[in-house]
A and B are shown apart, each in its own frame.
Chain A
Amino acid sequence: MRAFVFTDPSLQRHAGQFVWLSINTERAENAPFLAKYPVQAWPSFFVIDPRKETVAIRWVGGATVPQLEKLLADGRRSVHAPERGVAEALARADRLYGGSKNAEAAEAYREALRQAPPGWPQYPRAVESLLYALARQHDAKGCARTAQEAYSKLAHTPSAANVAASGLDCSLDLPADDPDRAALISEFTRACRDLVANPPSYVAADDLSSVYQSLVGEREAAHDAEGKTQVLSDWALFLEGVAARAKSPEGRSAFDSHRLTAYLMLNAPERAIPMLDASERDFPDDYNPAARLAVAYKAMKRYDDALAASDRALAKAYGPRKILILNNRADIYAARGDSAAARRTIEEALRFAEAFPAGQRSDTQIASLKKKLEQMP
């Protein structure tokens, strides 16, 4: 969104309606903010009521300009106007969701949807928030059913891709013996295939990329290696087209991470090298291109090049992301048979991870590093 949405001049008319704050979650000075307002996925957006320091609205993931404008309008209404009826029910759900109380938020969104009149303008946002809350609760059946009910109403809106992909992912997560699993997978696969075959102009490219990813998962679950490769090839081609049409280096590089994912899954990491070299040239202060080159070179078994790229990334890296770069560096050492260096690198990552303050410290990550260390020779 930083490259495509917040740069849209039409948003200027909202400038005076909010105080605008960008929080780089990697920076140490933002740890107190993150302890107060936990971020579970990136990007996340909040509308905060400054009087009570409470979250009026949380939105997870990307948004188009019209979706963002609706979010801003809802946020202002929620903070400024006393709510009644369905608006009150939605505001309650939004507050719970904003506080990451996903189980309670899911129930509250359902209550709001029960009260909603036909054509309710907040319906798409309520459904997408409900789907995310259910997914976080690992309620695959609830998520799939919600997506199924909503899809026909949202098929021609910017929410279509997210609802179809969430529906497919949740259906794939259902137990194998669930009697509805096959029909739900089939229904959402059809919807996802339609979206990528005829991409609507109002659906964001990153949402369509997620649809491809869900379709990869579907072929994987079907044990169809050939079909999976075909979807991966189509995904890579789609991303290359979007990157080629980008109007700036920022717009092009915004797709590097998805393209690297697709190339690695295609066992073609070498296809990532030219784009990452270009990004490293265009953004000399950014550690991401070098970190991604280290991943690609490792997959190509070019370990010296991988370590050199890792050196460049680590020289610029900061914050929790540095742990992932160190983790990959340990894997590079391990792959070339230097188990002592691999162990030292994980020990370094662990010390680094344990030093973070609340808000940035991840106990799950620390446990994972400890487990990895225990399993190392």
Chain B
Amino acid sequence: MKKRAFLLFVLAALAASVSLASTSASPRDVLPFIADDYPKALAAARARSVPIFVEAWAPW
């Protein structure tokens, strides 16, 4: 239950972050991420018959 505990503790009490994954670094250099456009990603995935990999993140 560590993730739940961390979420509650940090967000509620400290207003810091739940995640170490959050930085301003862009992963796009290695993988061609589409930013914040699900319809565009869906259309591209259907056209190419490949799945969509989604990274759901927050800048904190």
Residue contact B36 to A140, C-beta cutoff 8 Å? no
Extra pairs beyond A41-B3, A56-B51, A135-B4 (9, CB < 8 Å): A1-B27, A19-B53, A20-B41, A20-B53, A75-B51, A135-B1, A162-B2, A169-B1, A257-B10
Residue contact B26 to A51, C-beta cutoff 8 Å? no
Q: Restricting to B46-60, which residues have a CB under 8 Å from any CB of A?
A: 46, 48, 50-60
Q: Can you list 30 A-B contacts (CB < 8 A)?
A: A3-B23, A12-B30, A15-B31, A17-B50, A19-B44, A19-B51, A21-B55, A22-B27, A22-B33, A22-B34, A23-B36, A23-B56, A23-B57, A25-B58, A26-B58, A41-B18, A42-B22, A46-B53, A46-B54, A47-B51, A47-B54, A50-B45, A56-B51, A162-B2, A169-B4, A173-B1, A257-B16, A294-B15, A319-B58, A327-B15
Complex: how many Å from CA A39 to CA B30? 25
Question: Quick check: is A2 within 8 A (CB to CB) of the other chain?
Answer: yes
Complex: how many Å from CA A265 to CA B30? 37
Complex: how many Å from CA A75 to CA B52? 9
Residue contact B56 to A257, C-beta cutoff 8 Å? no
Supposing A22-B27, A23-B57, A261-B9 touch, asked if A209 and B20 sit within 8 A by C-beta, the answer is yes
Complex: how many Å from CA A264 to CA B17? 13
Q: Note all chain A residues with C-beta closer than 8 A to B31.
A: 6, 11-12, 14-15, 20
Supposing A6-B27, A213-B2, A253-B23 touch, asked if A20 and B34 sit within 8 A by C-beta, the answer is yes
Residue contact B17 to A257, C-beta cutoff 8 Å? yes
Complex: how many Å from CA A56 to CA B36? 20
Q: Is the interface of B mostly helix, strand, loop or mixed?
A: mixed
Closest 8 CB pairs of A and B: A6-B27, A257-B17, A206-B20, A50-B45, A250-B25, A169-B1, A21-B41, A135-B1
Q: How far is the CB of B19 from chain A (nearest CB, A)?
A: 5
Among B1, B10, B32, residue most surrounded by chain A Cβ atoms (within 10 Å): B1
User: Per a CB cutoff under 8 Å, which of B3, B45, B46, B55 touches A23?
Assistant: B55
User: Per a CB cutoff under 8 Å, which of A26, A51, A132, A292 touches B59?
Assistant: A26
Q: Note all chain A residues with C-beta closer than 8 A to B17.
A: 256-258, 288
Question: Quick check: is A43 within 8 A (CB to CB) of the other chain?
Answer: yes
Complex: how many Å from CA A37 to CA B26? 23
A-B contact count (CB 8 A): 247
Stretch at the interface among A27-35, A106-114, A227-235, A335-343: A27-35
Residue contact B2 to A53, C-beta cutoff 8 Å? no
Supposing A20-B53, A42-B58 touch, asked if A170 and B1 sit within 8 A by C-beta, the answer is yes
Question: Quick check: is A303 within 8 A (CB to CB) of the other chain?
Answer: no
Supposing A9-B30, A12-B31, A62-B20 touch, asked if A37 and B54 sit within 8 A by C-beta, the answer is yes
Residue contact B20 to A24, C-beta cutoff 8 Å? no
Residue contact A43 to B56, C-beta cutoff 8 Å? yes
Residue contact A261 to B50, C-beta cutoff 8 Å? no
Question: Quick check: is A195 within 8 A (CB to CB) of the other chain?
Answer: no
Residue contact B56 to A44, C-beta cutoff 8 Å? yes
| Residue in B closest to A68 when the chains form the complex, CB atoms | B53
Q: How far is the CB of A260 from chain B (nearest CB, A)?
A: 5
Supposing A24-B35, A214-B2, A254-B20 touch, asked if A2 and B15 sit within 8 A by C-beta, the answer is no
Supposing A217-B5, A321-B60 touch, asked if A21 and B20 sit within 8 A by C-beta, the answer is no
